[in-house]
Structure 1
Amino acid sequence: MNNKSLLKKTLLATTIALVSQQGAAAGFQLVEHSATGLGRAFAGEGAVADNAAVGARNPAAMALFDTAAFSGGISYINPDVDADVTSTAGDSGKAKDIAPDAWVPNIHYIHPVNDKFAVGTSVFSNYGLSTEYPKEIGSLGGGNTELMTVNWAVNGSYRINEQFSVGAGVNVLYADAEMNRYMPPAVLGGARAVKMEGDGYGYGWNVGTLWEINPDNRIALTYRSNIDTTLEGKGDFLREGLTNTSAELDIDFPDLWELSGYHKVAPEWAVSYSVLRTGWSSFKELKATSSLCKVGNGACFTKKENWDDAWRYSLGVTHYLNSQWTLRAGVALDKSPVPSEHRTLSIPDSDRYWYSFGATYNFQQNMTVDFGFAYLDGNQKKGQEVEYAGALPVTYDFEAGGDAYIFAAQYSYWF
């Protein structure tokens, strides 16, 4: 294995995160930015501000910090996803554990400049995907699909007065993707129909506001722009008779709106909530293009998606047990953006329900360790997908779904 291949595999093993029922928000969005947030099902993420991880969700909330703060953590996602496939071309069967496990790291830092301004930075992943089917099951629709993203955000905040703060920032997103599809074994001996791999950068921005009604009640509204990214790389396209040819794949990562709140309802108790809207309606298709692809008039591979905008609702509770321990729990409903008529083998998405809990232990006044756990209940969903082996239509009827478990740990320090 050469150094480039080894580096790519290492990145995928340590920084990708997974969807298709496996521990992320619906579609191929990720919300695993902190162990603290995981413990309350990421309810109130833009308003709670219990450590530096809030910079990834609301730059305005950095105004709450009067000293520099650091947080770093990692989430382990353990999905259990199966698919039962019936094919008109004979590549039928039950594919078990189609979503591999993954580790998802994050790191955050906030630095107050004075009593009005603060700056910060975060590195995390917003989107990811990995599904692996056996070559002989759902060959043209399944195959294997991998998407890894790393988002670097640089933010600033300004405190207008004692109640209102605003913030804004820029995002640099790096994406690396690979996709393989195969002919059914009875067609051309199961030859590879499509291979596409590439990487690229995209750029976006985000803004946030924070209303401190009083020290015990806060409401936040945030927006993150879409990021249109072009992945450049190499592809093999059997239909075109091309191998190792230069090609591009465009991915429009969606915009995000989030309303969140935090309310300390008693000296030892607080509730938090979030409503998150993801603009998945921008995800219309996957298309790989090259000037060398003549059959498709420049389109080497096209797959219609036609997703809808999606909503996520979460509710959390925090119990300040004593000076050393803080306990939390949460629930969430994550609505799928994938209409039933557009559900595919590569992303057999469905609604999912989150049940989570977590804890913070204070080693000392300026140092904490957080732990979080979540169980995701994903429904089994049926779908139908039609692909073409040359001019031969192949129909795949399938039922896919499963559950997932997320474990997270995090270290935070205030300077």
Structure 2
Amino acid sequence: MKRFTQRTLISTAIALATFQAHGAGFQISEHSASGLGRAFAGEAAIADNAAVAARNPAAMTMFDSAQVSGGLSFIQPDVDATLKSSNLGGAETYSDVAPDALVPYAHYVRPLNDRMALGVSAFSNFGLATEYPSDASAGPAAGKSELATVDFNVNFAYEVNEQLSLGLGLNAVYADASLVRNAGNLSPFIPGTTATTEIAHLEGDGWGYGWNVGALWQFDENNRLGVGYRSQVDITLDGDYRGTSNTTSLVSGQTVPGEVELNLPDIFEFSGYHKVAPKWAVSYSVMRIGWRSFEELKATGSSCTSSDGVGVCFLNEENWEDSWRYSIGATYFLNPTWTLRAGFAYDESPVPEEYRTLSIPDTDRNWYTIGATYTASEAFTIDAGFAYLNGDTVEGTESKSVATYNFEAGGDAYIFALGANYSF
């Protein structure tokens, strides 16, 4: 039971039950309101505002003047999960297990001369939040979880010639994670507990560092291609853990220090933009997310002892696979004041079916998006975007120690984004 308690906990802390609310796994794509309107198609090539620095730093050479872009995305998931049966009893349904979330972003691009540009950005590439009832029968596998990351990115771009621009950047990523797990239908096996008793409570944070590069090829003013690559970032989350059963060498309920290694995947994107008529443009993107790096979640601490070895608090195999995202968008230049957008994206899940769990009921999903930009003046524009994310209901079986859970999960999500851009 001790080993079960430890190994189940953190694996769900960074897992995603809000699988419809973001990109594959626990990726976040909300870097701009304009991009949301076209399903983020063509993001590495369009450069219609300073947010392009987050996807392709080379495209910063397209700016003739400095620009600041900022905004906020409101994510409203509608995700339900059902514990269909358990060998310990307790079939039940959990409604709205994913709370609403706000995701801000800010970008600044400044040309240094005719060939060089500098940019800074603050945004998030990964995050999650889940909240199951404290008295849930599946409490050991589904409780409260939160992961938040902030990427601080500095970029430089250089125009090699009229067709080719190159860019590179450095990233400092801050991550903060917390979770609570309850005894649920395991309480009869853990002395002195009820279903709502916290059997684990974890909080931790840390920093990781990475880099990014990009290239932009302009055939002419109406046609261009872009590529961007963002490196894997490894973060050590340092924090505290307490629970009813920590390790064989600890007193029940004691708080002990520990750390978790989190490997955020690399991202590669290829994009195109083509203005096919005076009022129409099409864009597209193909993105690969390197989730193969997410092989395991391992927590260590000097006070821990388990069957996995001295100093290992838990070890949970994930075995995710690389995933792909495909998107296509259209832009209509209605008049000098209004620009309209629409898009569609298909997002693959990185979680193999045999590794799907109640805390990671991830599945493929479809994005349907619309958006608009209002040009208030030559210097000031306002962007708005809306997305509807739809995914299938999936089933799975999860076995942990003496407990077996048969479940299904599914739902939709809605994303609303509002942003503004100012050139000076």
Please tell me the residue identity of whatever aligns with 2:95. Answer: K
User: In structure 1, what is the equivalent of residue 64 of structure 2?
Assistant: 66
User: In structure 1, what is the equivalent of residue 354 of structure 2?
Assistant: 341
Aligned pairs for 1:113-132 within 5 A: 113-132=112-131
Please tell me the residue identity of whatever aligns with 2:262. Answer: I
Aligned partners of 1:20 and 1:27 also within 8 Å: no
- TM-score relative to the length of structure 2: 0.91
Aligned pairs for 1:322-333 within 5 A: 322-333=335-346
Please tell me the residue identity of whatever aligns with 2:342. Answer: A
- 1:251 paired with 2:249, answer no
C-alpha distance in structure 1 between counterparts of 2:45 and 2:137, whole Å: 46
- 1:182 paired with 2:182, answer yes
Please tell me the residue identity of whatever aligns with 1:408. Answer: A
Q: CA deviation at 1:187?
A: 3.1
Aligned partners of 2:18 and 2:77 also within 8 Å: no
User: In structure 1, what is the equivalent of residue 3 of structure 2?
Assistant: none
C-alpha distance in structure 2 between counterparts of 1:43 and 1:210, whole Å: 15
User: In structure 1, what is the equivalent of residue 299 of structure 2?
Assistant: 288
Aligned partners of 1:81 and 1:99 also within 8 Å: yes
User: Which of residues 27, 49, 72 in structure 1 aligns to 2:25?
Assistant: 27
Please tell me the residue identity of whatever aligns with 1:359. Answer: A
CA offsets 1:133-153 (integer angstroms, 9 cap, x no match)? 123231221122110001100
Q: CA deviation at 1:90?
A: 2.3
Aligned partners of 1:59 and 1:167 also within 8 Å: yes
Please tell me the residue identity of whatever aligns with 1:99. Answer: A
Aligned partners of 2:17 and 2:361 also within 8 Å: no
- 1:93 paired with 2:92, answer yes
Q: CA deviation at 1:115?
A: 0.5
CA offsets 1:296-322 (integer angstroms, 9 cap, x no match)? 422212322110000000000000000
C-alpha distance in structure 1 between counterparts of 2:20 and 2:390, whole Å: 10
C-alpha distance in structure 1 between counterparts of 2:338 and 2:306, whole Å: 64
Aligned partners of 1:74 and 1:105 also within 8 Å: yes
C-alpha distance in structure 2 between counterparts of 1:405 and 1:215, whole Å: 35
Q: Percent of aligned positions with the same letter in both sequences?
A: 54
C-alpha distance in structure 2 between counterparts of 1:329 and 1:172, whole Å: 33
Aligned partners of 2:79 and 2:409 also within 8 Å: yes
CA offsets 1:301-359 (integer angstroms, 9 cap, x no match)? 23221100000000000000000000000000000000111112222111110000000
User: In structure 1, what is the equivalent of residue 418 of structure 2?
Assistant: 409
Where structure 2 has 5 or more consecutive residues not aligned to the other structure, the ranges are 1-13
Please tell me the residue identity of whatever aligns with 2:408. Answer: E
User: In structure 2, what is the equivalent of residue 277 of structure 1?
Assistant: 288
Please tell me the residue identity of whatever aligns with 1:273. Answer: Y
SS in 1 for 2:25: coil
CA offsets 1:68-116 (integer angstroms, 9 cap, x no match)? 0110000000000000012222243111111100000000000000011
Please tell me the residue identity of whatever aligns with 1:294. Answer: T
SS in 1 for 2:139: coil
SS in 1 for 2:52: helix
C-alpha distance in structure 1 between counterparts of 2:257 and 2:276, whole Å: 59
Please tell me the residue identity of whatever aligns with 1:365. Answer: E
C-alpha distance in structure 2 between counterparts of 1:90 and 1:146, whole Å: 27
CA offsets 1:8-35 (integer angstroms, 9 cap, x no match)? xxxxxxxx9x763242111000000000
Aligned partners of 1:123 and 1:151 also within 8 Å: yes
User: In structure 1, what is the equivalent of residue 109 of structure 2?
Assistant: 110
Please tell me the residue identity of whatever aligns with 2:107. Answer: H
User: In structure 1, what is the equivalent of residue 234 of structure 2?
Assistant: 228
C-alpha distance in structure 2 between counterparts of 1:346 and 1:19, whole Å: 5
CA offsets 1:229-274 (integer angstroms, 9 cap, x no match)? 0000000141414521000011000000100010000000000000
Aligned partners of 1:73 and 1:105 also within 8 Å: yes
**More off after superposition, 280-289 vs 327-336:** 280-289
SS in 1 for 2:304: coil
User: In structure 1, what is the equivalent of residue 387 of structure 2?
Assistant: 374
SS in 2 for 1:245: strand
User: In structure 1, what is the equivalent of residue 6 of structure 2?
Assistant: none
Please tell me the residue identity of whatever aligns with 2:407. Answer: F
C-alpha distance in structure 1 between counterparts of 2:94 and 2:137, whole Å: 7
Aligned partners of 1:55 and 1:122 also within 8 Å: yes
**More off after superposition, 84-93 vs 272-281:** 84-93
User: Which of residues 44, 47, 50 in structure 1 aligns to 2:48?
Assistant: 50
Please tell me the residue identity of whatever aligns with 1:268. Answer: K
- Tell me which stretches of 4 or more aligned residues in structure 1 moved more than 4 Å: none
C-alpha distance in structure 1 between counterparts of 2:143 and 2:87, whole Å: 17
Structure 2 CA distance for partners of 1:100 and 1:22, relative to 1, 3 Å: farther
Please tell me the residue identity of whatever aligns with 2:167. Answer: G
Where structure 1 has 5 or more consecutive residues not aligned to the other structure, the ranges are 1-15
- TM-score relative to the length of structure 1: 0.93
C-alpha distance in structure 2 between counterparts of 1:257 and 1:263, whole Å: 21
C-alpha distance in structure 2 between counterparts of 1:401 and 1:186, whole Å: 30
